[in-house]
Amino acid sequence: MTNQDIRCNQDFPKIGIRPTIDGRRKGVRESLEDVTMSLAKAVANFLSNELRYPNGQAVECVIADTCIGGVAEAASAADKFAKAGVGVSITVTPCWCYGSETMDMDASLPKAIWGFNGTERPGAVYLAAVLSAHAQKGLPAFGIYGHDVQDMNDPSIPQDVQEKLLRFAKAGMAAALMKGKSYLSIGSVSMGIAGSMIDPDFFQEYLGMRNEYVDMSELTRRIEEEIYDPEEFKLAMAWVKENCKEGSDNNAESLQTSREQKDKDWETVVKMTQIVRDLMVGNPRLGELGFGEEAMGHNAIVSGFQGQRQWTDHFPNGDFLEAMLNSSFDWNGIRAPYQVATENDSLNGVTMLFGNLLTNTAQIFADVRTYWSPDAVKRVTGHELSGVAEHGLLHLINSGSATLDGTGEQMQDGQPVMKPFWEITPEDADNCLKAVSWRPAAVEYFRGGGFSSCFLTRGGMPVTMSRLNLVKGLGPVLQIAEGYTVELPKDVHDTLDQRTDSTWPTTWFAPVLTGKGAFKDVYSVMDNWGANMVPSVTDTSAPI
User: Which residue numbers are catalytic?
Assistant: 343, 367
* The CA-based dihedral angle spanning residues 167, 480, 471, 399, taken in that order and rounded to the nearest 10 degrees: 120
Listed in sequence order, the residues at least 6 apart from 38 whose beta carbon sits closer than 8 Å to its beta carbon are 155
367 is in an annotated binding site: yes
- Going by C-alpha positions, the residue among 25, 49, 20 that lies closest to residue 37 is 20
Query: Which amino acid, one-letter code, is at 370?
Result: T
Q: Apex CA 331: angle with CA 441 and CA 326, to 5°?
A: 60
Q: In a 3-state reduction of DSSP, which class is residue 452? A: strand
- Going by C-alpha positions, the residue among 359, 390, 392, 322 that lies closest to residue 464 is 359
* Distance (Å, whole) CA 30 – CA 221: 68
* Distance (Å, whole) CA 240 – CA 262: 13
Phi, psi for 432 (deg, rounded to 5) = -65, -45
* Distance (Å, whole) CA 312 – CA 344: 13
* Distance (Å, whole) CA 376 – CA 206: 42
Residue 208 contacts residue 395 (beta carbons within 8 Å): no
* Distance (Å, whole) CA 403 – CA 392: 25
Q: How many helices (H) and strands (E) does the chain have?
A: 17, 21
* Distance (Å, whole) CA 182 – CA 408: 30
Listed in sequence order, the residues at least 6 apart from 518 whose beta carbon sits closer than 8 Å to its beta carbon are 524, 525, 528
- Going by C-alpha positions, the residue among 125, 159, 158, 119 that lies closest to residue 143 is 125
* The CA-based dihedral angle spanning residues 231, 233, 238, 242, taken in that order and rounded to the nearest 10 degrees: 140
278 is in an annotated binding site: no
Q: Apex CA 268: angle with CA 264 and CA 272, to 5°?
A: 170
186: β partners = 214, 305
Residue 486 contacts residue 390 (beta carbons within 8 Å): no
Annotated binding site for Mn(2+): 343, 367
Q: Which residues are annotated as a binding site?
A: 343, 367
